[in-house]
Structure 1
Amino acid sequence: MRGLIVLLFILATVTIKSNSQYLLPITKHEPTKQFYTTFNIGSSAKSPVNLLLDLGTNLTWLECRKIKFLTSLRLVTCQSSTCKSIPGNGCDNNKSCLYKQPNPLGPNSDITGRVVQDRASISTTDGGKLLSQVSLHHFTFSCSGEKNLQGLAPPVAGVLGLSPGDSSFTKQVTSAFSVIPKFSLCLPSSSSGSGHFYIAGVHYLIPPFDGSNNPIPMTMSPLKDIGSGDYLINVQSIYVDGTPLSLKNPNLLSGGAKLSTVVPYTVLHTDIYNALAQSFTLKAEAMGLIKMSAKAPFKDCFEVSVSKKNMPVIEIGLPGRAGEVKWRFHGANTVVNVMETVVCLAFVDGGKKPKEMMVIGTHQLQDYMLEFDFSRTMFTFSDSLLLHNTTCSTWPSQK
């Protein structure tokens, strides 16, 4: 009987753990259009580190001298199971574990650093407020040199790995705490408020949504191939105000679209961009917008009166459970203000031979709730929160 009680207690504990969820803030650095989160690394509860969010980085890396308290930092050895579990690991002469991976801000450069472990502290949440602090006792990351910080926003000390790889920050957290293997991002469009970075999110409390009786409406679509190390979605078609784009080569969409938290504006193969720009221009001019000269890096710009803010809607058609679903982008996500009465199509021509045919950037992702679920290999997205008179910057008071 006593054994049964112990078993039931263990099962109850596991159930409680599986319902835990965590919340970190997201800050937008306006001059660089970069997004970073902040949490404590090290032995002190007051050792905050700012790290750039990157969906393409596997192992988190940072300039470790930016951490105030390093008394609990320890090197990972080459022969350890931790080192061996990291794909592409290496060794130095001191038999320390090394790891090399691409620099998200330097396409032709790599980041090499010694693999280390330390404690990381994050907050539990009820979906809206931050509750108690918990510790990830063996957070694995790499220490990099200060020269690798070039291009990063001044407050940022490194890059937080959010890739589908097993060494990513989110995979480490969900594995350590035995919680739902997923994370969610709500990128703020303003630098004056905090966005939301959920791990194992169950309830998303962003007023007026309360998480249970009035949840944020979400749409699901399968991720294309997380084994690639990137988050790719299956693009079936693209529409402007309901009219599908006519592409010379429809196969350009077959590779899908890569989601990025470091590319500021969506980058398209030249043929996709030209078809989108042509269709958008026709619709915009029919609405009374006047074509203007280009404003680099944007090629298609328009004069618009202060009172007339309607813009053509751009939609991406994705596979859903019962046919095609549409991810809709409205004015705030389709254009960018370059002058008081001039807006530009917030998409960039990536040339004829880009590595990826489509890379969806942060301007398009702002003010949407985006969920990456590893257990089902699904990508889930909301409508623009702006359509519900709220934003990702809505952050309730702490408990």
Structure 2
Amino acid sequence: MQTPPSKMAHRLQVHFHLIFVLCTLLISSPSIHNNLRIVQASSPPIQALVAPITKDTATSLYTLSLSQRQYLLDLSGPLLWSPCSTPHPTVPCSSGDCAAAASGSGAPKSCTGQRPCTVRPTNPVTGEQAAGNLTFTDISTNATDGKTPTAVVTVHGVLSSCAPVSLLRSFPGAAAGDAGLGRGSAASLAAQLYAKLSLKRQLAICLPSVTDAPGVAFFGSGPYGFLPFALLDASDLAYTNLVKNSPSSSSSAAYGIRLSGIAVNQEAVPLAAGVTVTFDTALPYTVLRRDVYRVFVDAYQSAMAGVPRVPGVAPFEACFNSSGLGVTRVGYAVPSVDLMTEGGGGNWTVWGSNLVTQVATDVACLAFVDGGWAAPSAVALGRFQMEDNLLVFDEANSRLGFTGTLLFIRTTCSNFNFTRG
């Protein structure tokens, strides 16, 4: 006996309704979503992120490319900050996120109820500060195998401070904010990327010496690839211990090392042991405290006794007629400088390309500046001395890895292959 058409239609409706309900459950179930995430995450975990570093023509400052925007590369900054749109999400002042960000920025720790968290971002070039709400943003960059970018990665919920547009004064024109990468601050961009992606707590930077090709920053593990054939890993670097700065210091988030001495042309300069070096990308050239500056510059001028002196060109004191200087793969053929690191890490040898800068036709100057007696550290290493050197700030092991100039191995910081693999 055949089923009446009306009953058949009813059964079909029930059947399709059940299918619809099951599909809805499959789509909306959190457990199903979790399973989908697990399947998607079954690909190899991210070991490192990579981002281009650009040298600005007008200011010689560096910017880091993130989320298709440019942020000032601030190696000793405790925060990520930029001007915010209105309205924007805020963070309660009673939260742990607020406590972490405020401790790094020097903001007051007073808090009442659920009021928005306020921090104090700083312009590292001018020293100017301003109050701003702590908020969240998303950051996009690329994963890498050390040789090329491999995939776009977006990190959600990154803590960032709002700031007035006026705080961007003296930044490169393209800069939308400041990427603080400093040490010891849980709210620095570097620390947040490590935590959110379970990366090794290690930042590598390679600052370009040119404005028409980018350098590179790595967050996480190596290796570090540079064309045409250099693939550097941990065994290719020399190491020395990182030292902590005083929390009350103006450079408390700066990376620092300690020297047992300095040599010019392999002759020791008369300095007390234990000289502290900090790294500061806001400084165009290395700044030396007065006592260190005087003995260092006197020693260098003695080593250059055979080269005609010319009047100093501000901010430099020791300048030379460069017309008779030879040129090598690593810059002018001038006496080298050895930064003798504590702890048996070996010497960081600095050659002509990072010692002497051309300031006019036939005039080259020793690129070190007198910081006076009030300088915050004995040696504050500036951008010029870092260019074309791979520096690996290995916070996980509290050590600095360094290569010396890459020019010796016939490559530069501008030779990372940013073509997607």
- TM-score interval, normalised by the smaller of the two chains: 0.7 to 0.9
Of the three residues 91, 104, 119, the one matched with 1:76 is 91
Asked if structure 1 preserves the Cα contact closer than 8 Å seen for 2:135 and 2:160, the reply is yes
User: Is 1:380 matched up with 2:401?
Assistant: yes
Structure-to-structure mapping, 1:108-187, within 5 angstroms: 109-164=128-183, 165-187=185-207
- Give the aligned partner of residue 298 of structure 1: 316
Cα deviations by residue, 1:135-192 (Å, 9 ceiling, x for unpaired): 1111110110011111111111221111111111011011101111111000000001
Label 1:279 to 1:85 Cα distance change in 2 as closer, same or farther (>3 A): closer
User: Against the structure 1 CA distance between its residues 22 and 397, is the aligned structure 2 distance closer, same or farther, given a 3 Å change threshold?
Assistant: closer
CA offsets 1:229-260 (integer angstroms, 9 cap, x no match): 2211111100101001024xx2xx53511111
2:350 to 315, 329, 348: 329
Q: Secondary structure at the match of 2:191?
A: helix
TM-score in terms of structure 2 length:
0.81
Question: In the alignment, which of 242, 250, 268 is matched to residue 266 of structure 2?
Answer: 242
5 Å-filtered alignment, 1:312-327, equals 312-320=335-343, 323=344, 325-327=346-348
Q: Percent identity?
A: 27
CA distance 1:14–1:185, shift in 2 (3 Å) = farther
- Residue 103 of structure 1 deviates from its aligned partner by 2.8
- After TM superposition, the score normalised by the length of structure 1 is 0.86
Match of 1:224 among 231, 243, 266: 243
What residue identity is the alignment partner of 2:206? C
Contact conserved, 1:51 with 1:159, CA < 8 A, in 2?
yes
**1:215 Cα deviation after fit:** 7.6
Deviation at 1:94, TM superposition (A): 7.9
For 1:307 and 1:349, the matched residues in 2 are separated by: 25
Amino acid at match of 1:190: V
CA distance in 1, matches of 2:349, 2:235: 15
1:45-102: CA deviation from partner (whole Å, max 9, x where unpaired): xxx221111122111111235xxxx99x522222333223332456699811111144
Q: 1:32 aligns with which of 59, 67, 70?
A: 59
Q: Alpha carbons of 1:324 and 1:298: their partners in 2 closer, same or farther (altered >3 Å)?
A: same
- Larger helix fraction of residues: 2
- Higher Cα radius of gyration: 2
Conserved 8 A contact 2:63-2:72 = yes
Distance 1:81 1:244, change over 3 A: same
Distance 2:59 2:262 in 1: 29
> Which deviations, in whole Å up to 9, do the C-alpha atoms of 1:314-355 show, x marking residues without a partner?
1110024xx251111100100100123110000001112322
Q: How many residues align?
A: 368
Q: In structure 1, what is the Cα distance between the partners aligned to 2:111 and 2:213?
A: 42
Q: Which amino acid aligns with 1:299?
A: E
- 1:85 is matched with 100
Structure 1 contact 90–99 (Cα < 8 Å) conserved: no
**Compared with structure 1, are the counterparts of its residues 95 and 237 closer, same or farther at alpha carbon in structure 2 (3 Å cutoff)?**
same
Does the 8 A contact of 1:123 with 1:134 survive in 2?
yes
In the alignment, which of 41, 51, 56 is matched to residue 71 of structure 2?
51
CA contact (8 A) 1:184 1:370 kept: yes
Letter in 2 for 1:395: F
Shift of residue 296 of structure 1?
0.6
Q: For residue 191 of structure 1, give the secondary structure of its aligned residue in structure 2.
A: coil
Taking a change above 3 Å as real, the CA distance of residues 373 and 14 of structure 1, as seen in their structure-2 partners, is farther
Is 2:365 aligned against 1:311?
no
Taking the aligned partners of 2:418 and 2:73, their CA distance within structure 1 comes to 24
How far 1:280 sits from its partner (Å)? 1.1
Residue 75 of structure 1 contacts residue 115 of structure 1 at CA under 8 Å; is this kept in 2? yes
* 1-structure distance, mates of 2:66, 2:256: 28
Q: Is the 8 A contact 1:209 1:215 kept in 2?
A: no
Kept in 2, the 8 Å contact 1:193–1:395? The answer is no
Q: Which residue of 1 aligns with 2:30?
A: none
3-state SS of 2:120 partner: strand
- Report the Cα offset of residue 285 of structure 1: 2.4
Quote the residue 2:47 is aligned against: 20
Change (3 A) 1:375 1:154: same
